[in-house]
Structure 1
């Protein structure tokens, strides 16, 4: 398999805070105060939604540029929902401030369903865990 990316996560001195090195970027993950954290950074689920939203916006921008469509700024709003039965759903709403007709919107929504992160989340990923 080809490596796509890599991250390194280290616990901090405060409860639940994690220092993340993702490529050349430093990030902080934490839980909200209501769950015992200090709310020093985005939660793990926030990062999932952020990755999906960013991938969606980037992919739509790339597609629109190839088609020479003036879609303007892309906005992706996401919600992660869970029910008591353990079912999980992500609601994603996409908007843009450019001029997009109905046929273009139909195509953009089709493309959104095929972004790399969308496909990964829908397919599920095998996670192999071992002692370092």
Structure 2
């Protein structure tokens, strides 16, 4: 297996607020008040979009640098929705302030379809679970 990542999440004494440890980074997850949370941090689908947007930006920046293209300021706007059948849909709108040609944009739109996180989300991942020891 290639790149390994791990995360640990621990509940707090406040309803849905949880502390997440990813490597050396501390994050908070919660639900908005409208869903019974405190809004103390992004909700799970917010992190889902954040992961995809980060991979999008980093991958396209790496690709452009290898090609010697100037992206300038890059921005990706992502939206998540579910249709009447419950199928998830994500739409990305990409922006760059650099002087890119139509051909360069076409290539970037081809590349973005195959970023690592895009592929994992599209193809799915095997998810397994097991019971651990009681929390300390």
Same fold (TM over 0.5): yes
Match of 1:26 in 2: 26
Q: Deviations over 1:98-119 (max 9, x none)?
A: 1110000000011111100000
How well do the aligned residues superpose, as a CA RMSD in angstroms? 0.9
Q: Deviations over 1:42-75 (max 9, x none)?
A: 0000000000001000000000000000111110
Q: Deviations over 1:14-35 (max 9, x none)?
A: 0101100011100000000000
Match of 2:11 in 1: 11
Match of 2:90 in 1: 90
TM-score (norm 1): 0.97
1:86 Cα deviation from its structure 2 partner: 1.1
Structure 1 segments (4+ residues) deviating >3 Å: none
TM-score (norm 2): 0.94
**1:113 match: secondary structure:** helix
Q: What number of residue pairs does the alignment pair up?
A: 132
**2:114 match: secondary structure:** coil
1:2 Cα deviation from its structure 2 partner: 3.9
Q: Which runs of 5+ in 1 are unaligned?
A: none
